[in-house]
Amino acid sequence: MKQAVVDAESPVPLILVIEDEPGDAQLIRLQLEEQGAQAYQIVLAVSLKDAETQVKQHKLVPNAILLDLNLPDSTGVATVRRCYQLFPDVPVVVLTGLDDQAATEAAIEAGAEDYLSKGSEGRWIRKAIRYAILRHERDASERLAMAVFRHAREAIMITDAEQQILQVNAAFSEITGYSADDVIGCTPAILNSGHHSADFFDQMFATLASKGSWEGEIWNRRKDGSLVVETMNISAVHDALGQVVQYVALFSDITQKKAAQDKVNYLAYHDALTNLPNRTLFMDRFQQALVSVRRTQSPLTLAFLDLDGFKAVNDTHGHAAGDFFIRSAV
């Protein structure tokens, strides 16, 4: 097919027509140009592969695609899905020569903005393209939000006002082991580990009610039964009347980080060889005891233990034997 010269920098909408029947393709071109040859830039392609090649070769950014469902390299609703794989951020209007409502509905379900029967009047084609572009621009922020939702590394869980789970993202499933099908319709209680008291959750929802958000650490249980420690932020979503309509929870798995921090804290106050409290912990507890006896006027006893002749054990049998002896003694 002979192509018109296309200016990739032009503000005129660029329409990619993917149609393998030359007569139909030329008719669509004429229909698009009925109100002026400069109304649209038009690129014709005979297959999905041809369309991909032309777009890459000429570095084109189509504003809309008119797509025949049945092409040499794809047929039916799969054509729509493959088209969106090649051109993920371009609105698609399906062209069909079949009066098949099921096929057109499937095409819409697959993401097509609209559909037209081949041979439709030019004004309907232009209207479908114009509205497809407008809807696509209007929904740009929603698509961005959905992309963030799908690809966020933080787990996201959305519930209704009654705490029934409406939606979770992939990170939620990765952290908890539960798929979306496992939890949608359930409440977050499905994650309850039993680690927290009822007072903990009462305070959580009291804070949500008074401040509109809550953040903190929470222990949950994965699908396989293992415990997971999470840092969580919950926000209440209100309608125009101020009523809570949803809760949005974002959380990250800090189990390993917390275990490492707990180990560092433990080693800071305990002897690495014997696991007994070290001098730092002793002084802390001793100071607390002094405060207590001064307040209560009760007696305090402090005992010292020493190992006589221990140096000889190290010198004679080596430090490994000495360490073994100490561990055995305690």
At 73-90, the pLDDT tens digits run: 998 889 999 999 999 889
Distance, CA of 137 to CA of 38 (rounded, Å)? 22
Kindly report the CATH class assigned to 270-329: alpha beta
The stretch 240-254 carries a mean pLDDT of 93
Domain 14-138 is of which CATH architecture? 3-Layer(aba) Sandwich (3.40)
- 33 DSSP β-pair partners: none
Q: If 0-12 CB within 10 Å is exposed, 13-18 middle and 19+ buried, where does residue 123 land?
A: exposed
**Average pLDDT, stretch 146-173?**
92
pLDDT of 159 higher than 80: yes
* Exposure string for 231-246, b = 16+ CB within 10 A, e = fewer: bbebbbeeeeeeeeeb
One-letter amino acid for residue 37 of the chain:
A
Among candidate residues 112, 120, 93, 127, the one with its CA nearest the CA of residue 28: 120
- Cβ partners under 8 Å of residue 249, min gap 6: 155, 156, 157, 158, 159, 188, 232, 233, 234, 235
Inter-residue contact 40 to 32 (CB < 8 Å): yes
What's the whole-number average pLDDT of the chain? 87
| Confidence (pLDDT) at 100 | 67
Mean per-residue pLDDT, 174-192: 96
7, 133, 167, 241 from 13: Cα distances, Å: 10, 9, 36, 41
Asked if residue 58 has pLDDT above 70, the reply is yes
- Higher-pLDDT residue of 300, 263: 300
Q: How many CB atoms lie within 10 A of CB 27?
A: 16
- Is residue 2 very low, low, confident or very high in pLDDT (cuts 50, 70, 90)? very low
Does residue 47 carry a pLDDT above 50? yes
> pLDDT band for position 259 (50/70/90)?
confident
Domain boundaries, the chain: 14-138, 146-256, 270-329
| Span 244-258, average pLDDT | 91
CATH class of 146-256: alpha beta
Distance CA 136, CA 32 (A): 20
What mean pLDDT do residues 128-146 have?
82
**Per-residue model confidence (pLDDT) at position 91:** 93
Which pLDDT score, from 0 to 100, does residue 6 have?
65
Nearest to 15 by CA among 142, 296, 167, 25: 25
On whether the pTM is more than 0.85, the answer is: no
DSSP 116: E
Token duo for residue 209: 């009610």
Whether residue 99 is predicted with pLDDT greater than 70 in this model: the reply is no
CA distances from 145 to 89, 140, 151 (A): 14, 9, 10
Does the structure show a pLDDT above 90 at 64?
Answer: yes
Average pLDDT over residues 158-174: 95
